[in-house]
A = this chain, B = another copy of it.
């Protein structure tokens, strides 16, 4: 690639754009570079192979774990678009292991891939940088990926979700609302919390730091932090969990203490994964439009592959409130067994 760039008198980025049929190169320059590529014996390069042999018809989706919930919702949307387009969806889970992530990345470069959908944080083992370098089109999806101008990212309106959840609980009459967050070094965890704060402030209610518990989006957080909230001198009447897995943990802790949902404690989740409607009682939650996010990501990737320009490098789809059976008016009086 360096050699071709030198001979054409352009940057390697320009060569990469031509190799991947991406926009931003003038017609004459494109033609000159393409001729040089054809002439050169540049056979090892993955992208050049594509240009010569045609597309592989494969799109690679990489995710952290095949565990259902969040990622699966996105995959459903992706699959829907690809089913119509004729592309085949290659799936790989790295289990958050760096060696496996490197293995996957090496294979993506060695084998043919028309484009990549990243459901894991793009900065891991320099995935985004490598894909950019190699000129492989990709889109990063989900709330573990922060917006950037270097490539397209897709998320949802997390802050608004946090605001909506809290506002809904306030509308039911709650004044002491506990919140269990994700890790606060993540922007999207802080966005939920900021939405919560904003709704409370709008309602003229002071934020009580004792009601804010940090977690890691795991079931175990939900159990532990609920215990902590229940042991406060003045426990909350509602709990807002950072995701539905944490909400499942809240349910378990409450069940052990014989505290009824929603009669004695309201619980609201975040994400709306497949099993949220299966919980007892069915979970009221903030829906992330996972399928729509997957669909949009796949559509954007197909446009990149086709060499089209995207209007924007970051899209956020709207979160919404899904009312089921886990929220009600606040209990009157203290928490007590069977107080329903």
- A-side interface residues toward B, CB under 8 Å? 57-58, 60, 66-69, 72, 75-76, 79, 83, 86, 88-93, 100, 103, 107, 111, 219, 245, 248-249, 251-252, 254-256, 258, 274-275, 277-282, 338, 340
Contacts and interface: CB of A to CB of B under 8 A. Distances in A.
A307 B145 CA distance: 43
A340 B260 CA distance: 14
A280 B258 contact: no
Given A255-B281, A278-B245, A93 B68 contact: no
A93 B91 CA distance: 13
Contact of A103 (B57, B83, B248, B254): B83
15 contacts: A57-B111, A60-B88, A67-B72, A68-B69, A83-B92, A86-B107, A88-B90, A89-B90, A248-B275, A251-B280, A252-B281, A252-B282, A254-B280, A255-B281, A279-B280
Given A88-B90, A91-B89, A252-B281, A68 B72 contact: yes
Contacts of A256: 281
Contacts of A58: 58, 88, 90
A275 B275 CA distance: 7
Given A68-B69, A91-B89, A92-B88, A248 B83 contact: no
Contacts of A88: 58, 60, 90, 92, 107, 111
B89 A92 contact: yes
A248 B251 CA distance: 14
Q: Which 7 pairs from chain A and chain B are nearest by CB?
A: A68-B68, A251-B280, A248-B278, A255-B280, A275-B275, A252-B280, A338-B338
Contacts of A69: 68, 274
A99 B267 CA distance: 41
A57 B79 CA distance: 20
Given A252-B281, A280-B248, A280-B254, A92 B79 contact: yes
B72 A66 contact: yes
